[in-house]
Chains A and B, each alone.
Chain A
Amino acid sequence: EAEVAQSPRYKITEKSQAVAFWCDPISGHATLYWYRQILGQGPELLVQFQDESVVDDSQLPKDRFSAERLKGVDSTLKIQPAELGDSAMYLCASSYTGGEAFFGQGTRLTVV
Protein backbone atom coordinates (compact mmCIF):
# COMPACT_ATOMS: atom_id res chain seq x y z
CA GLU A 1 0.00 0.00 0.00
CA ALA A 2 1.39 3.41 -0.99
CA GLU A 3 2.35 5.71 1.84
CA VAL A 4 3.63 9.23 2.40
CA ALA A 5 7.22 8.95 3.61
CA GLN A 6 8.72 11.47 6.01
CA SER A 7 12.13 11.74 7.60
CA PRO A 8 13.47 12.04 10.16
CA ARG A 9 10.86 10.72 12.60
CA TYR A 10 12.39 12.65 15.49
CA LYS A 11 14.74 15.61 15.60
CA ILE A 12 16.30 17.43 18.53
CA THR A 13 18.09 20.65 17.67
CA GLU A 14 19.47 23.61 19.53
CA LYS A 15 17.85 26.98 19.05
CA SER A 16 19.43 29.10 16.32
CA GLN A 17 20.46 25.96 14.39
CA ALA A 18 19.08 25.00 11.00
CA VAL A 19 16.83 21.97 10.58
CA ALA A 20 15.28 20.32 7.53
CA PHE A 21 12.49 17.81 7.01
CA TRP A 22 11.86 15.68 3.96
CA CYS A 23 8.62 14.32 2.50
CA ASP A 24 7.99 11.90 -0.37
CA PRO A 25 4.30 11.89 -1.35
CA ILE A 26 2.29 9.03 -2.77
CA SER A 27 3.21 8.54 -6.41
CA GLY A 28 0.98 10.54 -8.72
CA HIS A 29 -0.31 12.92 -6.07
CA ALA A 30 0.00 16.46 -7.41
CA THR A 31 -0.94 18.21 -4.18
CA LEU A 32 1.44 18.23 -1.22
CA TYR A 33 0.79 19.84 2.14
CA TRP A 34 3.00 20.68 5.12
CA TYR A 35 1.18 21.08 8.44
CA ARG A 36 2.42 21.97 11.92
CA GLN A 37 0.68 20.55 14.95
CA ILE A 38 1.31 21.93 18.42
CA LEU A 39 0.48 19.56 21.28
CA GLY A 40 -3.22 19.65 22.11
CA GLN A 41 -4.23 21.46 18.93
CA GLY A 42 -5.33 20.55 15.42
CA PRO A 43 -2.91 20.66 12.48
CA GLU A 44 -2.39 24.04 10.85
CA LEU A 45 -1.39 24.43 7.23
CA LEU A 46 2.05 25.91 6.62
CA VAL A 47 2.36 25.51 2.86
CA GLN A 48 0.54 23.78 0.02
CA PHE A 49 2.02 22.81 -3.35
CA GLN A 50 0.30 21.96 -6.59
CA ASP A 51 3.00 20.14 -8.54
CA GLU A 52 6.06 22.36 -8.05
CA SER A 53 4.12 25.58 -7.44
CA VAL A 54 3.20 27.06 -4.09
CA VAL A 55 -0.56 27.68 -3.96
CA ASP A 56 -0.81 28.75 -0.33
CA ASP A 57 1.94 29.80 2.08
CA SER A 58 0.00 32.47 3.91
CA GLN A 59 0.70 30.89 7.32
CA LEU A 60 4.36 30.11 6.68
CA PRO A 61 6.71 32.30 8.79
CA LYS A 62 8.80 33.28 5.82
CA ASP A 63 11.52 35.00 7.83
CA ARG A 64 12.70 31.60 9.05
CA PHE A 65 10.81 28.90 7.18
CA SER A 66 11.23 27.85 3.56
CA ALA A 67 9.77 25.04 1.51
CA GLU A 68 10.48 23.67 -1.92
CA ARG A 69 9.25 20.97 -4.25
CA LEU A 70 11.63 21.40 -7.12
CA LYS A 71 10.56 18.59 -9.46
CA GLY A 72 7.00 18.39 -8.27
CA VAL A 73 7.63 15.16 -6.39
CA ASP A 74 9.38 15.17 -3.01
CA SER A 75 9.60 18.24 -0.81
CA THR A 76 11.82 19.78 1.85
CA LEU A 77 10.78 22.10 4.67
CA LYS A 78 13.55 24.09 6.33
CA ILE A 79 13.73 26.18 9.46
CA GLN A 80 16.64 28.56 9.98
CA PRO A 81 17.20 29.58 12.71
CA ALA A 82 15.06 27.32 14.87
CA GLU A 83 13.36 28.85 17.90
CA LEU A 84 12.00 27.22 21.04
CA GLY A 85 8.44 27.89 19.85
CA ASP A 86 9.01 25.76 16.75
CA SER A 87 8.84 22.58 18.84
CA ALA A 88 5.93 20.69 17.31
CA MET A 89 4.94 17.82 15.07
CA TYR A 90 5.46 18.54 11.38
CA LEU A 91 3.12 16.57 9.16
CA CYS A 92 3.25 16.07 5.41
CA ALA A 93 0.23 14.99 3.38
CA SER A 94 -0.52 14.41 -0.28
CA SER A 95 -3.57 13.97 -2.47
CA TYR A 96 -4.79 13.88 -6.02
CA THR A 97 -6.04 17.37 -6.88
CA GLY A 98 -9.17 17.94 -4.77
CA GLY A 99 -9.10 14.39 -3.48
CA GLU A 100 -8.63 12.48 -0.25
CA ALA A 101 -5.53 13.48 1.69
CA PHE A 102 -3.13 10.95 3.21
CA PHE A 103 -0.62 11.80 5.92
CA GLY A 104 2.86 10.60 6.69
CA GLN A 105 4.07 9.57 10.13
CA GLY A 106 5.32 13.07 10.89
CA THR A 107 8.53 14.53 12.28
CA ARG A 108 8.53 15.43 15.95
CA LEU A 109 10.82 18.43 16.45
CA THR A 110 12.18 19.48 19.81
CA VAL A 111 14.15 22.71 20.01
CA VAL A 112 16.32 23.04 23.12
Chain B
Amino acid sequence: SQQGEEDPQALSIQEGENATMNCSYKTSINNLQWYRQNSGRGLVHLILIRSNEREKHSGRLRVTLDTSKKSSSLLITASRAADTASYFCATAVKGYQKVTFGIGTKLQVIP
Protein backbone atom coordinates (compact mmCIF):
# COMPACT_ATOMS: atom_id res chain seq x y z
CA SER B 1 0.00 0.00 0.00
CA GLN B 2 1.07 3.58 -0.62
CA GLN B 3 2.96 5.57 1.97
CA GLY B 4 1.18 8.67 0.68
CA GLU B 5 -2.38 8.57 -0.60
CA GLU B 6 -4.19 11.57 -2.04
CA ASP B 7 -7.86 12.18 -1.66
CA PRO B 8 -9.96 12.78 -3.69
CA GLN B 9 -8.56 11.02 -6.75
CA ALA B 10 -10.35 13.49 -9.01
CA LEU B 11 -11.89 16.91 -8.46
CA SER B 12 -13.75 19.22 -10.82
CA ILE B 13 -14.54 22.81 -9.83
CA GLN B 14 -15.49 26.11 -11.40
CA GLU B 15 -12.91 28.80 -11.95
CA GLY B 16 -12.71 31.07 -8.92
CA GLU B 17 -13.59 28.35 -6.41
CA ASN B 18 -11.14 26.92 -3.91
CA ALA B 19 -9.73 23.42 -4.34
CA THR B 20 -8.69 21.27 -1.41
CA MET B 21 -6.86 17.98 -1.70
CA ASN B 22 -5.59 15.77 1.07
CA CYS B 23 -2.71 13.41 1.58
CA SER B 24 -2.45 10.73 4.25
CA TYR B 25 0.66 8.75 5.09
CA LYS B 26 1.63 5.90 7.36
CA THR B 27 5.09 6.39 8.90
CA SER B 28 7.04 9.26 10.47
CA ILE B 29 8.38 11.73 7.97
CA ASN B 30 11.11 14.35 7.68
CA ASN B 31 9.09 16.45 5.29
CA LEU B 32 6.19 16.32 2.89
CA GLN B 33 6.29 17.84 -0.57
CA TRP B 34 3.56 18.77 -3.04
CA TYR B 35 4.13 18.64 -6.78
CA ARG B 36 2.04 19.52 -9.82
CA GLN B 37 2.09 17.65 -13.12
CA ASN B 38 0.52 18.97 -16.27
CA SER B 39 -0.63 16.32 -18.72
CA GLY B 40 2.30 14.53 -20.33
CA ARG B 41 4.94 16.63 -18.58
CA GLY B 42 7.35 16.31 -15.69
CA LEU B 43 6.52 17.30 -12.13
CA VAL B 44 6.97 20.79 -10.78
CA HIS B 45 7.69 21.33 -7.10
CA LEU B 46 5.14 23.51 -5.28
CA ILE B 47 5.86 23.46 -1.54
CA LEU B 48 7.96 21.53 0.97
CA ILE B 49 6.75 21.46 4.57
CA ARG B 50 8.96 20.02 7.28
CA SER B 51 7.73 17.81 10.11
CA ASN B 52 8.11 20.62 12.66
CA GLU B 53 5.99 23.01 10.60
CA ARG B 54 2.20 23.18 10.65
CA GLU B 55 1.36 25.53 7.79
CA LYS B 56 3.05 27.15 4.80
CA HIS B 57 1.88 29.57 2.16
CA SER B 58 3.06 30.27 -1.35
CA GLY B 59 0.96 32.66 -3.40
CA ARG B 60 -2.49 31.08 -3.75
CA LEU B 61 -1.29 27.83 -2.19
CA ARG B 62 -1.68 26.89 1.45
CA VAL B 63 -0.34 23.64 2.85
CA THR B 64 -1.04 22.25 6.28
CA LEU B 65 0.57 19.33 8.05
CA ASP B 66 -0.85 17.41 10.99
CA THR B 67 1.74 14.88 12.11
CA SER B 68 -0.55 13.48 14.81
CA LYS B 69 -3.07 12.50 12.13
CA LYS B 70 -0.37 11.80 9.57
CA SER B 71 -2.09 13.97 7.02
CA SER B 72 -1.54 17.06 4.92
CA SER B 73 -3.80 19.24 2.84
CA LEU B 74 -3.17 21.48 -0.14
CA LEU B 75 -5.55 24.40 -0.66
CA ILE B 76 -5.57 26.34 -3.93
CA THR B 77 -7.56 29.54 -3.57
CA ALA B 78 -9.34 31.38 -6.39
CA SER B 79 -8.59 28.59 -8.86
CA ARG B 80 -7.83 29.27 -12.51
CA ALA B 81 -8.17 27.12 -15.60
CA ALA B 82 -4.34 26.97 -15.68
CA ASP B 83 -4.42 25.12 -12.34
CA THR B 84 -5.84 22.09 -14.15
CA ALA B 85 -3.27 19.36 -13.49
CA SER B 86 -2.54 16.36 -11.30
CA TYR B 87 -1.25 17.11 -7.82
CA PHE B 88 0.99 14.67 -5.97
CA CYS B 89 2.16 14.54 -2.40
CA ALA B 90 5.56 13.03 -1.73
CA THR B 91 6.62 11.90 1.71
CA ALA B 92 10.22 11.84 2.86
CA VAL B 93 10.33 9.01 5.37
CA LYS B 94 12.77 9.31 8.28
CA GLY B 95 15.84 7.22 7.76
CA TYR B 96 15.41 6.88 4.01
CA GLN B 97 17.13 8.91 1.33
CA LYS B 98 14.20 8.98 -1.06
CA VAL B 99 10.63 10.19 -1.23
CA THR B 100 7.50 8.20 -2.02
CA PHE B 101 4.84 9.65 -4.30
CA GLY B 102 1.12 9.08 -3.97
CA ILE B 103 -1.25 8.36 -6.86
CA GLY B 104 -2.21 11.99 -7.22
CA THR B 105 -5.37 14.07 -7.38
CA LYS B 106 -6.57 15.09 -10.83
CA LEU B 107 -7.90 18.63 -10.64
CA GLN B 108 -10.01 20.10 -13.41
CA VAL B 109 -10.85 23.79 -13.25
CA ILE B 110 -13.70 24.67 -15.58
CA PRO B 111 -13.59 28.20 -17.07
Co-assembled chains A and B: no
Residues of B within 8 A of A (CB): none
